[in-house]
Chain A
Amino acid sequence: MSSPMKLMKSRSIAKNNKRSLKVMGGNGSYGKALGGVAKKDRTHYDTGYRIDGHKVLVLMENINHNKFIMNSNSENPIYLIASIAKNTHRLVISGIGIYEKHKLTKSIDLKFDSDGNLIPFDSSEKGSHAHNWTENSPGVLGRKRHDESNHLPIDDKYQHLIDKIVDFNKKGHTWEKGQNNEQNSCHQ
């Protein structure tokens, strides 16, 4: 191991010991002792909407950066990441995060045309696509490195879910902070 790598590793360990891993939404937010992510460290709201039981989440407004959640609170969930139109409060789901053991393993970027129909995968990356994520070093998840082909077609097994997402988006569901739609779960 080269010395810069040694330095990086020792630094990482030292800091992890000093301050437990807390940053929700990003790397290291899962607290082992807690068995989840502390509420104060969470960055996304649960809208209460569900599609096939998967939560539809939106980013809290105090953080502007639309980041995929790296560490999930549940062990192996699929999260559906939506944005909200500012004036109409309409939800549009454009991302799927797939987790294993609290870690993001695959993300799917959904692209839609002006009518809200899904733009399928194409190699020129204009269409919907997937990325694999991996633990590049202990506690640090990232897009798989040194992999030029990490721009992937979407596995057919998600097509059924994606069809429901397209339908959900077209229905124009709305959400505002403080509104929890548990009774509005979408089991279409």
Chain B
Amino acid sequence: MEASTVTMNRKVAIYNFFTDGKHLYEDQLGWSKLEKEEARSLVSKEIFDFEVVRVGLNLAFYYLDDGRFYGIHRECIPIDVKILPLDHPENPHINSQCKGDTHVDGDVIFSCRDPKELWDGVRIGGKSLEEVISRSYIITLT
């Protein structure tokens, strides 16, 4: 019996996102395998609840649909959700334009004292966090 080869055609989300020739693929959007394993869930809200609400990690992501970087600065109270400024806007590779440090100042789009308010409270372009994360590349979770 001949060995068969399975080829998976990955869909590019953004060309040259990381470097020249290194693209961002659709299957890299949203939560990674690592976070799913840690949270022991495939459900976006449960993963968010584990990583951001329960463990208390800061989250930074690039939202493809509006081309902005966002940060949820979880480590302080009040918890601010902000648009992160670009560190290197001149860089042609999007991933290198912003370090994803949620400490830096940015336009605050939502603020709360209880992290449980984040999931239902945050809306970006009218979209829920679940929708936004599924269309985002997570830069940092720290």
Interface residues of A (CB under 8 A from B): 15, 22-23, 25-28, 43, 63-68, 86, 109, 111, 125-126, 131, 136, 140-145, 148, 150-151
Residue of A nearest to B103 (CB): A125
A64 pairs with B55, CB closer than 8 A: no
**Interface flag for B64 (CB, 8 Å):** no
Task: Please tell me the number of chain B residues within 8 Å of chain A, measured between CB atoms.
Answer: 23
The interface residues of chain A lying within 8 Å CB-to-CB of B138 are: 64-65
Does B57 belong to the interface (CB within 8 Å)? Answer: yes
Q: Are A148 and B55 in contact (CB under 8 A)?
A: no
CB distance from B43 to the nearest CB of A (A): 13
Closest beta carbon of chain B to A55's beta carbon, Å: 18
Interface: B54 (CB within 8 A): yes
* Given A148-B77, A151-B75: A142 in contact with B142 (beta carbons within 8 A): no
B contacts, CB < 8 Å to A: 19, 32, 34-35, 37-38, 40, 54-57, 74-77, 96, 100, 103, 138-142
Binding site of A, secondary structure by majority: helix, strand, loop or mixed?
Answer: loop
Distance in angstroms from A151 CB to nearest chain B CB is 5
B37 x A67 contact (CB < 8 A)? no
Cβ of B75 and Cβ of A23 under 8 Å apart? no
Residues of chain A within 8 A (CB-CB) of B54 are 136, 140, 142
- Are B34 and A111 touching (Cβ within 8 A)? no
| Among B38, B56, B75, B139, contact of A64 (Cβ-Cβ < 8 Å) | B139
A64 to B138, CA, bound (A): 8
Q: Is there contact, CB below 8 Å, between B55 and A142?
A: yes
Q: A65-B138, A65-B140, A140-B55 are in contact. Are A23 and B38 (CB under 8 A)?
A: yes
